[in-house]
Amino acid sequence: MSRKKSSSRFRNAVIQIEDRQYDYLEAITLLKNLPSAKFIETVEAHIVLGIDPKYADQQLRSNVVLPKGTGKNIKIAVIARGEKAVQALEAGADIAEVDGIINQIENQSYDFDKLIATPDVMPLLAKLGRILGPKGLMPSPKAGTVTWDVLSAVKEFKGGKLEYKVDKAGILHIPFGKINFSVDDLAQNLCSVQESIDRNRPSGAKGKYWKKLYICSTMGPSISINMSSLFNR
């Protein structure tokens, strides 16, 4: 089997990255100046943590509010009844009801990025975990997506609140803006991500918590970050 060749754009980007760890501001500046794709790419952080998620006390799932937003207009569905559904729509939810959304999920014909639910309807979602779980859409109190305060929840997620969860290998993959953001805006978002991860450190995490940190754009090569530059800013 022949190996797929990388694009000339990607190769040109790679040769501009030195084999070293970069100060986080230097890395963001470099990232913005690399050859880019023909669309506005997302900027991502990939963080290797010293935890083993197979243990309950080493799992990490939380959320962070990016002060400069995500750069994406996310579609939010809210499963709620009566006044709570009305509040959700007033806050900017794209759809707010019960039966219609559940039918969409069952038929796998839904079109939303975030699902929020009030506590009273969660039993209705239990059977849909096999569909929602793998997509990262299952509402969770810890993630702020199971709440009676749907008005605040919708506004926060529309405004830049982001949910994250460590994968099976103990790695976090977190988008923190768009390539057309300024260096300062991306830096503020990345710093907020770092603070949230530290604030939500699992109780079972022992020894070195942060192991490696890389940033990249959707279609670009990764840049290694000197983590002390982020911690000691």
Q: Is the pTM of this model over 0.95?
A: no
Instruction: Answer positive or negative: Cα dihedral of 48, 227, 63, 137.
Output: negative
- The per-residue pLDDT for 2 is 43
Structure tokens that stand for 98 in this block: 């019960």
- The per-residue pLDDT for 184 is 97
Domains and CATH numbers, the chain: 8-70+160-232 (3.30.190.20), 76-158 (3.40.50.790)
How many angstroms separate the CA atoms of 5 and 63, rounded?
37
**pLDDT tier, 16 (very low <50, low <70, confident <90, very high otherwise):** very high
- The per-residue pLDDT for 143 is 83
How many angstroms separate the CA atoms of 214 and 226, rounded?
9
Q: List the single range of 97-101, 132-136, 227-231 with lowest mean pLDDT.
A: 132-136
Cα–Cα separations (whole angstroms), residue 22 to 41, 148, 182, 211, 227? 21, 43, 18, 15, 9
How many angstroms separate the CA atoms of 106 and 165, rounded?
24
**pLDDT tier, 1 (very low <50, low <70, confident <90, very high otherwise):** very low
The pLDDT > 70 percentage for the chain reads: 98
Which residue did the predictor score with more confidence, 99 or 2?
Answer: 99
Please determine, for residue 229, whether its predicted confidence score (pLDDT) is greater than 60: yes
